[in-house]
C-alpha cells in the first residue's frame, strides 16, 4: 500500500535488482507533476531550487525517522518538534471572512500554498502513520539494494519486503541460488 509520505520518501530511487543505479526523482518535473496529480495537490512545476532543497532535507529526515523507528528506537522530543514545525509551516489557520452580502464566515485557510503546503501534508501523513501504529508498522525493505520505506498493513505485521512479487521473489531466488552453490 502506497501512502503519501512513503511515496515522497521513496522518490530517492535505487535499483532493487542490484545494479547500483539510483536517481533522485524529486529533481524530475515529470515526477513532481505525477506526484501532485496522484495526491491531488497544487504547486508550481518545476519546483524551485529552494523548494527542491527543502524537499530533499525533509526526505532525509523522514527516512532517518523511519530507520530510527525500525531499529527499535522511540519517538523523541526532537523528532516531535521537527514534525510539528513542518506541519505548522503549511497547516491551516482559522480566519473570519466578511462575505459580499455582509455576512461573516469562519474558514480554514492554508498558511502556505505550493510545495510548503505539500510538505506539511506529507509530514502530517507520516505523523498519522506513526500514531496509528506507534511506529511498529513502519518498515524498510529487507532487500539491501532497494531499501524502500513502506507501511506494513498485514494483520500479523510480518511484511519484510516493499513488494513480495519484486523484492520478495528476488531475495528468495538469491537465497535459493546461494544454497545450491553450497
The C-alpha angle 23, 27, 33, rounded to 5 degrees, equals 115
Q: What is the CA radius of gyration of the chain?
A: 20
Which CATH superfamily does the domain covering 4-181 fall into? Jann2411-like domain (1.10.3300.10)
What is the average pLDDT value for the chain, to the nearest integer?
85
Helices within 1-143 (DSSP H only): 4-9, 29-38, 49-70, 77-90, 115-133
Q: In the block, which residue shows the cell 501534508?
A: 121
Distance, C-alpha 105 to centroid of its chain: 34
Which residue, chain included where needed, has cell 505550493?
114
Q: What is the arithmetic mean of pLDDT over 128-155?
A: 84
Q: What is the mean pLDDT of residues 145-152?
A: 85
In this structure, of 43-47, 95-99, 136-140, 146-150, the range with the lowest mean pLDDT score is: 95-99
Share of the chain above pLDDT 70, in %: 96
Q: Which of 25, 48, 50, 49 is nearest to 38 (CA)?
A: 25
Give the model confidence (pLDDT) of 150-181 as tens digits: 888 888 877 878 777 777 777 777 777 778 78
Q: What is the pLDDT of residue 1?
A: 59
* Distances in whole angstroms, Cα of residue 182 to Cα of each of 7, 43, 93, 143, 179: 39, 55, 64, 22, 5
Q: How many CA atoms lie within 13 A of 144 on its CB side?
A: 1
Amino acid at each position: 500500500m502506497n501512502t503519501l509520505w512513503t511515496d515522497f520518501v521513496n522518490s530517492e530511487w535505487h535499483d532493487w535488482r542490484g545494479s547500483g543505479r539510483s536517481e533522485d526523482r524529486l529533481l524530475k518535473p515529470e515526477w513532481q507533476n505525477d506526484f501532485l496529480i496522484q495526491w491531488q495537490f497544487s504547486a508550481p512545476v518545476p519546483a524551485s531550487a529552494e523548494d527542491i532543497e527543502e524537499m530533499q532535507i525533509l526526505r532525509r529526515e523522514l527516512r532517518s525517522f523511519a530507520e530510527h523507528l525500525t531499529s527499535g528506537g522511540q519517538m523523541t522530543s526532537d523528532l516531535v518538534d521537527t514534525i510539528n514545525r513542518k506541519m505548522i509551516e503549511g497547516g491551516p489557520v482559522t480566519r473570519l471572512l466578511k462575505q459580499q452580502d455582509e455576512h461573516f464566515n469562519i474558514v480554514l485557510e492554508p498558511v502556505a500554498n505550493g510545495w510548503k503546503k505539500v510538505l506539511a501534508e506529507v509530514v502530517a501523513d507520516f505523523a498519522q502513520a506513526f500514531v496509528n501504529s506507534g511506529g511498529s508498522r513502519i518498515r524498510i525493505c529487507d532487500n539491501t539494494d532497494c531499501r524502500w520505506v513502506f507501511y506494513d498493513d498485514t494483520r500479523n505485521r510480518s511484511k519484510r519486503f516493499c513488494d513480495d512479487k519484486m523484492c520478495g521473489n528476488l531475495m528468495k531466488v538469491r537465497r535459493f541460488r546461494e544454497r545450491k552453490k553450497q
